[in-house]
Structure 1
Amino acid sequence: MDIRNPCVVSLTWRLEDAQGVLIDELMEPTEFFYGGEDLLGKVEEALEGQTTGHEAELFLEPEHAFGDYDSALVFFEAIDIFPDNVEEGMQFEGPPKGSTTPDMPPDVIYTVTEVYDTHVVLDGNHPLAGIALKISVRVADVREATEEEIAQGSVAQSIFSLAMDRDGADEDVPPGATLH
């Protein structure tokens, strides 16, 4: 079967920064919805019309990966609005409850990057923002998407999403968990 919208592709990959430092590696094939939000646009472009066994090497500038780093998405909040166990790597979907900063976009996942005695630094950039990436991808399988997958535009939660709870860090997600 050719890869076309909509379908599900099983991929393995190796993701590195521009200097070749390993960021992520999928050794076992993982399914992604092709034609939705599961894959980066340039990855989908490289897979269009291909079949099982196809391999591609891509170099993605930040604007084609996770965007440029935006310093306007870095905020300082008083430590007293956070749980007692706040630590670097914790993440919050949207501003934390009690936030006093009016400019914090509500639809962003914020990562705690620093904890001080009186305040916490929150960064709304994706952890890979501003980084050029090298990705080696291999198509292990291609199948028709189910009606449910087509309706939700995804096989499951996107591998590029950060699993979070709106009220604070999810107890089941270890600090710093970002990819899969």
Structure 2
Amino acid sequence: MVSEVKKNTVVTLKYTVTDSDGGVVDEGVEPLSYLHGGYEEIFPKLEDALQGKKVNESIRVKLEPADAYGEYDASLVLEEPREEFPEDIEVGSEVEGAAEGGDDEDFIIYRITDIDDEKVVLDGNHPLAGSALVFSCTVTAIREASPEEIKQGQVLEADEEKDG
């Protein structure tokens, strides 16, 4: 049995995320499991704070925009002609588009933020870009990662269900 969070362990967290004013961003209804050790499944600053923690230990980490979803980038906001979109689009819908200056394989998910008769406004920023976030969590379980999880660099669902 694993006693602390270390490289190549699967860590399960009960968590909540709030903005800097205390407004709830994510209630953490479902526990979060991730592969610890630099696999980029959670934010690095959060992973660093969890290193060495044991089951039932809690942390609270403030993530500045650069530590989370990045600064808001106005260049990722585009206006496109309305006629280029289907009739049934709605504000909040997501569309995939080519990244500006990228090759054919670089895609960005854009959220539709405004629609009028002439144009559609698309925002390629993550909805939480530019936001400072406070991540509060408690370690609820720690287990050794399977060789397949380590190879793939992520928690595998079948293993997660098997171990509870």
Indicate yes or no: 2:88 matched with 1:91.
no
Indicate yes or no: 2:100 matched with 1:103.
yes
Residues 152 and 79 (structure 1), Cα distance of their counterparts in 2 relative to 1, 3 Å cut: farther
Residues 8 and 83 (structure 1), Cα distance of their counterparts in 2 relative to 1, 3 Å cut: farther
- Look up the match of 1:137: 137
The 2-side partners of 1:93 and 1:147 are apart by 34
Q: 1:80 aligns with which of 78, 83, 103?
A: 83
- Look up the match of 2:14: 12
Structure with more helix by fraction: 2
Indicate yes or no: 2:40 matched with 1:37.
yes
**Number of residues of Structure 1 aligned to a counterpart in Structure 2:** 151
- Look up the match of 1:148: 148
TM-score (normalizing by structure 2): 0.83
Alpha-carbon displacement from aligned partner over 1:109-149 (angstroms, at most 9, x marks no partner): 21111111122111111110101111111111011122332
Structure 2 gaps of 5+ residues are: 158-164
What's the secondary structure of 2:48's corresponding residue? helix
Question: How large is the Cα RMSD of the aligned pairs?
Answer: 2.0
Larger radius of gyration: 2
Residues 113 and 104 (structure 1), Cα distance of their counterparts in 2 relative to 1, 3 Å cut: farther
The 2-side partners of 1:149 and 1:79 are apart by 45
- Look up the match of 2:160: none
Q: Conserved in 1, the CA contact under 8 Å of 2:15 and 2:32?
A: no
